[in-house]
Amino acid sequence: RSHLSAIRSCYEKQLLKSPTLEGRVHLAFTIDGQGKVAAASIDTSTLASPEVERCIVNAVSAMTFPVPRGGGSIRVTYPFIFATQ
């Protein structure tokens, strides 16, 4: 949750250009045995904004997470829902 501001920033920047931009992005990423993101990609998306999707992938790729138990890697799929208020 501490990383959500970076994801929100990706959306808000594009929202200035496309005020009706809404949708759901499912991000798939792998956390390696040292807590670093080894790979990240869009699993599915209804957002229809390659700019936001690319920004999310880049933001998550730069993140560090707690080391997985046992030191192995884990695959995560996380949904982000973007909507105007």
Q: Is the pLDDT of residue 85 over 80?
A: no
The confidence score (pLDDT) of residue 1 equals 66
Q: Write out the two tokens for 40.
A: 């990240």
Kindly state the average pLDDT of the residues 56-71: 92
Full-model pTM: 0.90
Whether the Cβ atoms of residue 61 and residue 43 lie closer than 8 Å to each other: no
Judge contact between 8 and 39, C-beta under 8 A. Answer: no
